[in-house]
Every structure is written in structure tokens, then in C-alpha cells.
Chains A and B, each alone.
Chain A
Amino acid sequence: MEAPAPAQFRSLRLLSGHVPAWLQVAPFVAVFVVFFLVPLGLTVMVSFWDYNEYQILPAFTVRSYMEIFEGCLDRLPDLCVTLKTYLSTLKFCVAVWLITLVIGFFIAYFLAFHVQSTTMQIALFLVCTIPFWTSNVIRTISWIPLLGRNGLVNSTLIKLNIVREPIEWLIYSNLSVILALVHLYALFMIVPIFNSMMRIDRALLEASYDAGASGWQTLWNVVVPLSKPGIVIGSIFVITIVMGDFVTVGVMGGQQIASVGKVINTEMTALQFPPAAANSVILLVVVLFIIWGLSRLVDVRKEL
């Protein structure tokens, strides 16, 4: 049996073994109930409420959903605004996902298999991680002096006589949005893949080489399958973040490119809560669907 704690420590007993586990975890649970589960429930509820210019009206209606998909069916094959927005967001998603996947895989591969000393490994890993702890907004706007109309890239190209006029589509375009998103979120791909690769038994690679496989064959048939859990987790991260992004698309798209997150944000600022909630529910369903598809490939729980 455990001895009772001295009286002066009694206030700190929450950290010790005396209190039941549920009490230790209670404050943590409370945060997620109050600030995550209840808000999600309310979002679903309000998405079925009515509204006018001044307020939300607690009466069941599917008005918000009808408005979001208004004309989507009869105008086919032309796309309605909602479908266009989703398509544009999905395009960013696929592009950013593919690029971060390739970058993430090879950077993680380099760190895990080619850097020999552990100290060096930690140091290089930190070099990749540190930007994650700095501001996303600043990391985004830092592309402006490089890609802007009079930016470094354009002025260099003009100086080298490659172009005469500054290229307009370097910034506030799909290209700059994708570039900034890759810049911000490549780390979310690197870390889980690196984590998976560090668990691979090095003897398997030796065995593969000894059996006569080339470097590429080993990479494709041994390393890639064994890194799958990390690849899936990284993909889930990148895809969900990009699906809901509105800050980067806003800043790098010059507030001209549509995204689902931006639509929600705009509606919210205009105090149109039911449509914003309905859009959120749809976004959530799409994201969950993607995750469901990805997680069928691997047991996520086992890997964390």
C-alpha cells in the first residue's frame, strides 16, 4: 500500500499516485469537451438554423445547404461557385500533397539512412524543425520580396535578359500559394516519415543489397513499404491543413483566390453563421472522407 503524503504536499497530490486517474485527466478532458466537442455539435446544429440580417433564428431548416448548392445540379456540366471553390481547394491539396510527399520522403530518407552520427542527425532534424516554431504569417509574407513584381526573381531574370517585362504570375497566383503551402507544411510530412524510417531494421537493407537488389529496388521494395505508416500520417496532416487553409491562400493569393476556408471566414466575419456552419460541416465531411480513405491503408493508432 502507498504511504499517505505529508500534509504540506496535499495540495500537490494531483500529480501523485493518490488521486484517481480520472481526476488527473479531468481538466484535460474538460478543455476538449468545452472547446472542441460542444463547439462541433453546435456547428452542426446551427447549420440547420434559419437566419436574417440581424440574427440567427433557432428554427430547423436546410436553407443554408440549399443556398450553398443552389444551381449546382441544373447548371452541369458548368460548375457552380461551391463546386468551383472545392475543386480549386482540392487542386491545391493534391499539388501540395505530391510535392511535400516527394520532398518529405527524400529529406527523411537522407536524415534516417545517410547521416551517420546521431548528433548530426539531431542537429539537421532541428534545422528542419525550427521554422515550425516561428510565425506562419511571417514565413508567408517573406516570399513577397522574392516573388513580387519588382522582387529578386524578376529583377534577376531581367538583368540576365531572360525576360523583358517582370513576370506577373510569380506572386498572387496559384504558383505562389502552392509554394508557400509547401514551404509551411513540408515538415508535417518529414517528421512522421522520419519516425517510421528510424524504426526500420537496418539489417533488412543489408539483406536486400546482399540479395542483389540495386539501390532503387531496395528503396522502392523495402524502404517505401516500411515507411507507409509515416507517409499516411504525414499525408493526413498535410491534406487536412491545406483543405481548411485560409490565411496562406488569402495572403499569397492576393485575396483573389477562393478556398473553402476563406469562404467560411468571410461568412463568419459577415455574421452569417448558419451558412458558415453549413460550409464547415461540408468541409468536415469531405476531410473525414479523405482521412477514412487514407487510414484504411494503415492502422494509425498503432503507429503513434
Chain B
Amino acid sequence: MRDRRSFSFYWLAALFGLFVLFLYGPMITILILSFQGPDGGLTFPMNGVSLHWFGKLWEGLGVVDIWAAFRRSFRLGLVVMVLTVVLSLLAGLAYRRRFRGSNVLFYVVVASLIVPSIVVSLGIGLEFRLIDDAIKSMAETFGWTDVAEHYTTAMGIYTSGLGAQLTWTLPFGLLITFAIFNRFDRRFEEAARDLGATPWQSFAHVVLPIIAPSVIGIGLFGFTLSWDEVARSSQAMGDLNTLPLELEGLTTTVTNPQIYALGTVTTGVSFVVIFLALGLMRALRRRSKV
């Protein structure tokens, strides 16, 4: 095909270049503008270069405790990451052996990916409200005064919020696990078994080291999707907001480059996580080749 490549190659390459510019251009604009001078505004031109708005951001954003939201989101991201890796891997192992209802589960997982997030979020919000109502009325009926007086809600970041995010991260986790095990050479396992390894030993010492790079990939999806999740979290977080939810609220109220500084910091965290994960994947792949 090389000889035919010349013309179409160049216009497609140009299209690709434009697309990359389209993808990254706006992000780079925000990055630059977050270093706006103290008198600078939300748009170009730059009025000097400074860390002024990062300083302002460090002090907080008015009524919103942005750093508390930052910590909440980070912790939630880690929890979602661990659960996504463990649950998808377990489910993936189960799929290798087939189980009853595996087809139905597959369709449910795909459905979870394509049902509009706002519908899922609303459903979870409703569910927890109904749970709250049920607990309150039960407490009244049975005379549990303690519960009746102090109970507020079962909604929270690590109940409804966590569940809402998992309905988004687990489908990606499972699909990646399918891809991993599709390519996995079962002969390694059989060899381990022939040499007397227990199933756990063969998993821990043979299977896991081979699939480790892809497992990190699942973790990458788990953390980054949670870290930026808005749509499914919107009605499911309860009283305390995560960072992206706060950020969405701030888009209408903050009218200075602080919001760009926050954008740069958030994107920075994403990029650190992405490159850490990619670096780790590369290192593990290299090691397993030796």
C-alpha cells in the first residue's frame, strides 16, 4: 500500500493533526490562562505571568471548601479504583469458567454503560430516599426513639455515591478483563498445575504477573473515571459534594482565573495518575519479556 499512501496519507495526517489540536488546544488555553497575572481576566491577553491565582485557590474559594472536596474525591477515587480492579477481576475469572446467568449479567453490564447517567443517578437517589423513609417509619412504629431522633439519611459518598460510580467503572473493568483473558495463554496455568501449584499459587505466581500491566489499566480507568465523574454522582452523593460536582457549580459563580487554576490542578492530578499508570504498565511489560 506504500505506493498509494502518498496523497491520502498526507491529508489524513493533516486531519489527525487538526484533531489533536482540537482535543488539546482548549486544555492548553486553560493551562496558560491559569498563570494569568493578578490583574488578568478570564480571557486573553495575558496580563503578566504569576502564580497569583494558584495562591488564591490555595486559600480557598469563598464559601466552598474546595480542598475538603479535593480530599474527598481523591479518597473516593482510590476506593473506586480498588473495588473496580478486584470486582472486575473476580467476575472475569468467573466468566472463564462459565456460570448460570452469565449472558444476562453481560447484558445488564452493557445496559449500565448505555442507560443515560442521569436516569441511573435519579434511580439511586430515589432508592435511598425510599430507604430513609422506610427506616424512619419503622423507627416510629417500633418506638426506636434513638433512631427516630438521630437518623438522617443512608445517602452518602461511600454508600449511594460509591455505588453510582461503580455502575460506570465496572463495565469498563469487565470489558478490559474480557480482553485480557481472551489473549491469555492457558498453557501457562496448565504448566503450573502440572508442577503441583495450588490454584491460588498458580493465580498469584503465574496468572497475575502476566496480566499485571492490564490490571493496572483497569485501575487507571477506575480512578480517573471516578475522579471526574459528574453525571451519575449528581443525585447520589448526598450532602457532601465531590470535586467535579463543586467544579460544575463553580462554573457559573466564579468569574476570575481561580477556576482555571483549579482546572489546571485537577487535570494535573489526572495526568500524574495517567503517566504513573502508563509508566508502570511499560515497566511491568518490559520485566515480563525478560
| Residues of A participating in the B interface, judged by any CB pair closer than 8 Å | 2-6, 9, 12-18, 20-22, 24-25, 27-29, 31-32, 34-40, 42-43, 46, 103, 106-107, 109-111, 113-114, 124, 126-128, 130-131, 133-139, 141-146, 148, 150-152, 155, 183, 186, 202, 205-206, 209, 215, 236-237, 240-241, 243-247, 250-251, 255, 261, 264-265, 268, 273, 276-277, 280, 283-284, 287, 291, 300-301, 304
Contacts and interface: CB of A to CB of B under 8 A. Distances in A.
Given A15-B200, A16-B199, A28-B170, A40 B123 contact: yes
A117 to B, nearest CB: 13
Contacts of A137: 228, 230, 244, 247-248, 251
B124 A134 contact: no
A291 B130 contact: no
A25 B267 contact: no
Contacts of A240: 114-116
A169 to B, nearest CB: 17
Contacts of B4: 209, 215
Interface of B: 1, 4-5, 8-9, 12-13, 15-16, 19-20, 22-27, 29-30, 33, 41-44, 87-91, 93-95, 97-100, 102, 105-106, 108-120, 122-127, 129-130, 160, 163-164, 166-167, 170, 174-175, 178, 193, 196, 198-204, 220-221, 224-225, 227-228, 230-231, 234-235, 244, 247-248, 251-252, 259-260, 263, 266-267, 270-271, 273-274, 278
Nearest to B174: A28
Nearest to B278: A126
A244 to B, nearest CB: 2
B43 A148 contact: yes
A22 B94 contact: yes
A257 B102 CA distance: 42
A251 B250 CA distance: 10
A114 B200 CA distance: 44
B24 A131 contact: yes
B114 A236 contact: yes
Contact of B87 (A28, A34, A142, A287): A28
B285 to A, nearest CB: 11
Contact of B105 (A32, A107, A183, A186): A32
A21 B99 contact: yes
A27 B87 contact: yes
State the 9 A-B residue pairs at the shortest beta-carbon distance, nearest first. Answer: A244-B116, A39-B123, A17-B199, A35-B163, A142-B26, A16-B200, A25-B94, A16-B199, A133-B224
